[in-house]
Structure 1
């Protein structure tokens, strides 16, 4: 099973990167894996996302994201929503690029008043791209980061069965569509 963390923080080495990496490993283990996952950190790709033409790094990132079975999509909360960097990357994907992918939206925020942003803003974007989003998104407060394991373990216990069910459904749909073009 392929698990990928897509990180939309413009700062390299960010707290969002740390949270997303840990979340991807935790959900991988929760699904019976060994915690292996890939990470797409958009901080290094920012200058290339709006440039004309293609860039090898962006194309590799695109491939990793669109071929993931489980995609943890993480961003810090900027102005009550996800970052423009994440939006710029996802805007480059064609319609239904995430069909067959189970996506888990995750926002890192400084204030609990922004907790609904993960459901109101990030979830619809992932659904628009064709992803199955079987569970509520995860809002992680910056104050929770020092005890991240205490946040992620119960989250993974709760969402892993939903992700497993969505993966089975996605595999059936892919098989059905392949058999009947």
Structure 2
């Protein structure tokens, strides 16, 4: 006689209680929590991953201030994340050499994350950059603009002319501007 070893079949676990919806926090409370964490970029990034209700408020603080140093940054922001453009309230466009006659600009550091902002490449003179920046300008959310360029050209003036609604303008790196 042959012994058979039958193992009991395993059942898939089933819920014994009905699914309860998650408790939703009021939007005001979510904003207070996120505003309390604005000093920590890591905390804001974590908060943006909690759930949809937390994502938008956290992203609005993360992307409120951005610094563009080269053409690739402009393109990535405008093409891969166009929905984030509406969160940008302060835009810094950095275009200057790390060393040279504009050496005093090499001390620029982001107030938000402490990163060195020097060494931006010459990208504003590229015709496609104007096309990349246009969607950002069309959003109309930018209220503060900082421009740091080593050579002022017609392309730079053209880009400046497209910003409307600017309440605060900071210009660095310009020794002489003709009006």
Give TM-score scaled by structure 2 length: 0.36
Select the structure of larger CA radius of gyration.
2
Indicate the structure with greater helix content: 1
More RCO (CA 8 Å, sep 6+): 1
